[in-house]
Structure 1
């Protein structure tokens, strides 16, 4: 195996670990009584300087004049893919386990396929029907497990996280042409900077500034989420894709739900049931067949 491929696989694995920890950080922060709007503002506030620097580096390395249409597209993508998706995810994690959240978010490739078929007229191959059914059947099993543990509020949380995954799928579906023209890192840096700004504006409108006075543990979790579950994984996965391609990097990404389920059980003490394990297996297998 070449050094570039080995490095790419390592980056993809580390990126999967980083993304897997996001829900763990959020659930841990909620135990300190912080609300979703404040926690999201902390995450995005700590992440914003890194994305600004990333955008400046990209602009210096590959200067490019962006049109007004490009900027509007970046605003829409930032709103959908990182602001709306993140906020809905944070709200949903109030009601459901970290493990179920990760499984629902992991459905985004299936949503891209279905939305492309509905809105872009792209044909849906018959060989993908079974993987799609497996994915959503697995989610039904996992939700059944969580309802037994957490009650009917699981449906509210599940719906919010499902909407989050839909927003991210819409971002992926709409971003292809822009990424091809502007580059993945430029689009990511600019769109995430937009999302960070929107999250901070939302906080200012909805909460007093005194809400930022939180225990140091909440700030530490917000900073860890920003660095280790946002900035670094985005960069690591982008570098992995550059070295080994999108397909292999995506396959390594299937580790994400498994890691989150294990971490949720070990760190948060979330119950791990037979239905949840079966549901996770179906979702992971189904998505792997689609990718």
Structure 2
């Protein structure tokens, strides 16, 4: 590598990470559009998302496992990957999709952004990690921002009790996803990030497919071509493509910078929700979002590894 080529790498990493974070933030928009256009249910939409994403992660799993440098996982490691995958991308995603039936896309992204704070609490309770003064300040900012934004949402929302139900489901999504992150942070250094992610996604897909086989409505899949389009869009633009972009960003600019740039997620979701879903933007939402993003950035700063945001 020549010295003249080095300055370009951070810029490339910045662009890749920024685009990846913005694409991740389109998930809520596509889900809300799909619900409005096709009147489908959360399980069916999630099943289509994972069905289209499956070939990509299947190929990745085969490529990683076929390498000469591949180290076979032990049975406990396999069990941990399966449990974390099901928890992080099946249970968590299903709760999120159902919650989006009741709350705005902007509020969903803010509530989901609570997961770094839950990771801090899990590490403190389960792994006995001390919560530092900076982390305490970050937690205060995060929850103050959520309260401000939520009060503002209550002032303009007219959906009734559905808002509370949807909020609870999205918060539970953040809780289960934080479990996935806390567990993966200890497993990824042992088995590798790419390998872990691929097999965790495959485990989650198996769980989703099993759920759909038992409780889904297969006739819906054949009845709506538009539904397939939304499923493909969620798989490519909100799942597979951003995960690769973020991974490449991690290689080029590091976990701390990725964490900072990923703070664009809630802002991007709110902007997209305004233009595509005609959701209002209000002062409390802007102020609350700023505090939440600031708190999450403080929590993410100096972390040794980053996991792509949802």
**Residues 2-151 of structure 1 correspond to what in structure 2 (within 5 A)?**
2-31=7-36, 32-61=38-67, 62-148=69-155, 149=157, 150-151=159-160
Deviations 1:108-142 (A, max 9, x none): 11111111112211111123222211111111122
1:5 Cα deviation (Å)? 1.6
State the 1:79 CA deviation: 1.0
Q: How does 1:138-287 map to 2 (within 5 A)?
A: 138-148=145-155, 149=157, 150-287=159-296
Q: 1:186 to 1:221 in 2, by over 3 A?
A: same
2:26 alignment partner, SS class: helix
Name the Cα RMSD after superposition: 1.3
Distance 2:220 2:212 in 1: 9
Q: Give the aligned length.
A: 291
What are structure 2's unaligned runs of at least 5 residues?
1-5, 301-310
**2:307 alignment partner in structure 1:** none
With structure 1 as the length reference, what TM-score do the two structures score? 0.96
TM-score (norm 2): 0.91
8 Å CA contact 1:22–1:225 kept in 2: the answer is yes
1:37 CA drift (Å): 0.8
Aligned structure 1 segments of 4 or more residues deviating by more than 6 angstroms: none
